[in-house]
Amino acid sequence: MQVRAENISKRYASMAALDDVSLTVGSGELVALLGPSGSGKTTLLRTIAGLEHPDSGVVYYNDRDASESRIQDRGVGFVFQHYALFKHMRVIDNIAFGLRARKKNKPSDAEIKRRVMELLDLVQLSGLDRRFPSQLSGGQRQRVALARALAIEPSVLLLDEPFGALDARVRKDLRRWLREIHERTGHTTLFVTHDQEEALELADRVVVMNKGKIEQSATPDEIYDTPATPFVFSFIGESSVIPVQVGNGRATLDERLLDLQVGNLPDGPAQLYLRPEDVAMVTDGGPGIPGLVVSTRRIGGMRRVTIACGLARHRIEFDAGAEIPIANSQRLQVRVIGGRVYGAGVEGYETEKLAASATSDFKWAKAEGWLDR
Amino acid sequence: MSSPKPRKMRQAIGEGRWTRLTLITIALIFLGLMLIAPLLVVFVEAFSRGVGVYIDALAMPDTMAALRLTLLVAAIAVPVNLVFGVAAAWAIAKFEFKGKAFLLTLIDLPFAVSPVVSGLIFVLLFGANSVLGPLLDDVGIKILFAVPGIVLATVFITFPFIARELIPLMQQQGAAEEEAAVSLGAGGWRTFFQVTLPNVKWGLLYGVLLCNARAMGEFGAVTVVSGNIRGVTTTLPLHIEILYNDNKAAAAFAVASLLALLALVTLAVKTLLEARFANSLAAQRRH
Kindly report, residue by residue over B64-104, the tens digit of the pLDDT: 999 999 999 999 999 999 999 999 999 888 888 888 889 88
Which residues have CB under 8 Å from A183's CB, separation 6+? none
Contact B180 A78 (CB under 8 A): yes
* pLDDT for res A86: 94
* pLDDT for res B5: 55
* pLDDT for res A128: 93
Q: With beta carbons less than 8 A apart as the criterion, state whether B258 and B276 touch.
A: no
pLDDT tens digit string along A83-124? 999 998 999 999 999 999 988 888 999 999 999 999 999 888
B141 Cβ under 8 Å from any chain A Cβ: no
Between A267 and A128, where is the model more confident?
Answer: A128
Contact A86 B177 (CB under 8 A): yes
The β-bridge partners of A318 are A305
pLDDT tens digit string along A281-309? 888 877 788 889 999 988 888 899 999 98
Q: Is the pLDDT of residue B132 over 90?
A: no
Q: With beta carbons less than 8 A apart as the criterion, state whether B235 and B223 touch.
A: no
* pLDDT for res B1: 46
Would you place residue B8 in the very low, low, confident or very high pLDDT band (cuts 50, 70, 90)?
low
What residues of B are in contact with residue A145 (Cβ under 8 Å)? 180
Q: Is the pLDDT of residue A253 over 70?
A: yes
In this prediction, residues A176-185 reach a mean pLDDT of: 89
In this prediction, residues B49-54 reach a mean pLDDT of: 88
Count of A-B CB contacts under 8 Å:
60
Contact A101 B190 (CB under 8 A): yes
* pLDDT for res A2: 92
Compare CB distances from B183 to A49, A82, A85 and report the shortest one's residue: A49
In this prediction, residues A220-240 reach a mean pLDDT of: 88
Measured in angstroms, the CA of A104 and the nearest CA of chain B are apart by 11
Would you place residue B11 in the very low, low, confident or very high pLDDT band (cuts 50, 70, 90)?
low
What residues of B are in contact with residue A50 (Cβ under 8 Å)? 183
Strands A331-336 and A279-281: antiparallel
pLDDT tens digit string along A189-218? 999 998 888 999 999 999 999 889 999 999
Distance from the first to the final alpha carbon of chain B: 32
pLDDT tens digit string along B242-274? 999 998 888 899 999 988 888 888 888 878 877
Contact B179 A101 (CB under 8 A): no
In this prediction, residues A244-271 reach a mean pLDDT of: 83
Which residues numbered 126-155 in A keep a CB inside 8 Å of some CB on B? 145, 148-149, 151-152
Between A3 and B16, where is the model more confident?
Answer: A3
* pLDDT for res A369: 41
Nearest CA in chain B to A100: B186
Query: For an interface test with B, which of A53, A86, A104, A112 has the most B Cβ atoms less than 10 Å from its Cβ?
Result: A86
* pLDDT for res B6: 54
Contact A51 B185 (CB under 8 A): no
Residue type, A73: D
Contact A71 B182 (CB under 8 A): yes
B186 Cβ under 8 Å from any chain A Cβ: yes
What is the rounded distance in angstroms from the CA atom of residue B123 to the CA atom of residue B227?
11
Q: With beta carbons less than 8 A apart as the criterion, state whether B103 and B96 touch.
A: no
Measured in angstroms, the CA of A292 and the nearest CA of chain B are apart by 49
What is the rounded distance in angstroms from the CA atom of residue A38 to the CA atom of residue A364?
16
- The burial of A68, by beta-carbon neighbours within 10 Å (0-12 exposed, 13-18 middle, 19 or more buried), is given as exposed
Nearest CA in chain A to B173: A84
Measured in angstroms, the CA of B114 and the nearest CA of chain A are apart by 39
Compare CB distances from A82 to B176, B184, B190 and report the shortest one's residue: B176
Query: For an interface test with A, which of B95, B183, B189, B193 has the most A Cβ atoms less than 10 Å from its Cβ?
Result: B183
Helical spans, DSSP H, in chain A: 41-49, 91-100, 109-122, 138-151, 168-185, 196-202, 220-225, 230-235, 344-347, 349-368
* pLDDT for res A368: 40
A37, A14, A97, A30: which is closest to A370 by C-alpha?
A37
Compare CB distances from B180 to A74, A84, A88 and report the shortest one's residue: A84
What residues of B are in contact with residue A51 (Cβ under 8 Å)? 179, 183
What residues of A are in contact with residue B195 (Cβ under 8 Å)? 86
Among the listed ranges A62-66, B26-30, B135-139, which one has the minimum average pLDDT value? B135-139
* pLDDT for res B277: 63
B185 Cβ under 8 Å from any chain A Cβ: yes
ipTM of the complex: 0.79
* pLDDT for res A68: 83
What is the rounded distance in angstroms from the CA atom of residue A20 to the CA atom of residue A253?
38
E strand or H helix that includes residue A295: strand A289-299
pLDDT, mean over chain A: 85
Between A359 and A180, where is the model more confident?
Answer: A180
Helical spans, DSSP H, in B113-219: 115-126, 132-138, 147-158, 160-173, 176-183, 188-191, 197-217
Contact A71 B198 (CB under 8 A): no
Cα dihedral A119, A123, A124, A128 in deg (nearest 10):
-70
* pLDDT for res A283: 84
Nearest CA in chain A to B195: A86
Would you place residue A241 in the very low, low, confident or very high pLDDT band (cuts 50, 70, 90)?
confident
